Amino acid sequence: MGSSFEDFLEEEGLLAQAEATAIKRVLAYQFEQAIKNANISKAEMAKRMHTNQASVEKLINPDAISLNTLTKAAATLGMQLKMTLETYTLEQTAK
């Protein structure tokens, strides 16, 4: 077994899935907070996104979130969704 939980996940082939789940949870939380900060209801958010309220519910559900919905919601809130693909540094790959 590896020297850390991250190593264990990688050895078991679960690291990518765990990272994706964590990202989805963070994004879902951030969107939920942004909607609250904009002081609009889920119904109003759906109206502004030209979609139904079920899509907004999916937006704040990390198990159902989609890239298309994330992008649309960000634009509706006057925000931009940014995703990056970064190369690991030598320090990161040495872990």
CATH code of residue 51: 1.10.260.40
CA distance 88 to 59: 29
Q: Are 8 and 23 in contact (CB under 8 A)?
A: no
In terms of residues, how long is the chain?
A: 95
Domain limits at 31? 5-81
Residue 92, domain member (yes or no) = no
What is the block-wise mean pLDDT of the chain (95 residues), using blocks of 10 residues?
A: 78 86 89 93 94 91 86 90 75 62
- Does the model's pTM come out above 0.85? no
> For tokens 């942004």, what's the residue?
34
Residue 63, domain member (yes or no) = yes
CA distance 72 to 85: 21
